[in-house]
Amino acid sequence: MTEIINKTLNLQELLVYIQIIKFTESTYIWIGDGNASFDNLNLSLPVKQFSDGTGEQVLSSELINDNNSDDFGQRLSSRLSKEYKKQILLSYNCQSLIPEFQLLLEKELINLLN
């Protein structure tokens, strides 16, 4: 079953648009501002255990990066993949690099995913 969530948030006086498409085995998340761009795409996958016995790991890769942004999108997709134990495709297209903004955004995103 597929679920689509569209949400507009006002975080620290910045409008942020979020689109989430939840599939059975994966979730696609687009986060952007008024520019409606698609400048990057990150993929994160949970893996069970490595042969050395270490616990669950997340493999992460940046598939597209046209704006040379910081790695917030990749870090966020990795954390979400580990938390929800599924493949996460995430495109983060906001200009704000303020840590407080990113923390608020992550909390709102987790609320939407639950």
Tally of structural domains, the chain:
1
Provide the CATH number for the domain around residue 23.
3.30.230.90
Residue with more model confidence, 34 or 113: 113
The kind and range of the H/E element at 89 are strand 87-93
Neighbours of 5 (CB within 10 A): 13
pLDDT value at position 12? 80
> What six digits make up the tokens of 86?
């599924």
The number of helix segments (H) and strand segments (E) in the chain equals 2, 6
pLDDT tens, position by position, 15-37:
999 999 999 999 999 999 888 88
Q: What is the pLDDT of residues 51-94, one digit of tens each?
A: 666 667 888 888 877 665 668 889 999 999 999 999 999 999 98
Domain range for 96: 3-113
User: pTM of the prediction?
Assistant: 0.85
Say what the pLDDT of residue 50 is. 63
Distance CA 8, CA 27 (A): 18
